[in-house]
A and B are shown apart, each in its own frame.
Chain A
Amino acid sequence: GAGVSQSPSNKVTEKGKDVELRCDPISGHTALYWYRQSLGQGLEFLIYFQGNSAPDKSGLPSDRFSAERTGGSVSTLTIQRTQQEDSAVYLCASSPGSGRGSPLHFGNGTRLTVT
């Protein structure tokens, strides 16, 4: 596809359930990021993947959050035992380079609502 694809676009789940969010980056992009955007807030960095290097997990808010990237392409963000404060838009972005100046290309996000 032409852009970053995220699924589902919307997800409503009950408190305590696990959820999986999927990101399909732009073909050939080596860097992949997950961000979280809460209402009225900026983008909060969660995790970064670059090629086969160990991911930078420094932004994950708790051990209930994890992510993987298979084959250097598709990524899945998993939230276990969801809480109401996890409600937010989860944005995935990819970048063609690993440099700190490389612009990001975002998907349209998954809007997660925890009831």
Chain B
Amino acid sequence: QKEVEQDPGPLSVPEGAIVSLNCTYSNSAFQYFMWYRQYSRKGPELLMYTYSSGNKEDGRFTAQVDKSSKYISLFIRDSQPSDSATYLCAMSGQDTGRRALTFGSGTRLQVQP
């Protein structure tokens, strides 16, 4: 079993829809949670960053972390065709024994105009 699980999709939604992307994880030592967006043939770019449990909002994007359930989510409101990309969750922690981020496998999102 992978340490971080993420549904690969693809997820296809109409423009304007609310999108929910999720990851589950098994290592309770994870404290820092990030979402990266990756366009085709580009490197991942940081989209959202949260520490520990709670919500964080930035424009149309909201990140949620539920450490008790080991579950994180990214919500995209009023989705646009330009949001079509692969979304990767990533996480790390002080007591994980490693400095590198652990990534999910990514969910491919397609927003249809």
Contact of B43 among A31, A40, A45, A91 (CB under 8 A): A91
Residues of B within 8 A of A11 (CB): none
Are B92 and A100 in touch, CB under 8 angstroms?
yes
Kindly supply a per-residue 1/0 record for chain A positions 76-104, scoring 1 wherever the CB is within 8 Å of any chain B CB and 0 otherwise.
00000000000000010100001011011
Residue of A nearest to B97 (CB): A58
Residue A7, interface by CB 8 Å:
no
Residue B25, interface by CB 8 Å:
no
Residue of A nearest to B46 (CB): A103
Interface size class of B (residues with CB under 8 A): 20 to 34
Interface size class of A (residues with CB under 8 A): 20 to 34
Q: Which of A42, A48, A105 has the most CB of B within 10 A?
A: A42
A101-B32, A101-B92, A103-B34 known; A42+B43 contact, CB < 8 A: no
A105-B46, A106-B43, A108-B43 known; A100+B105 contact, CB < 8 A: no
Residues of B within 8 A of A (CB): 4, 6, 8, 31-32, 34, 36, 41-46, 49, 51, 88, 90, 92-94, 96, 98-106
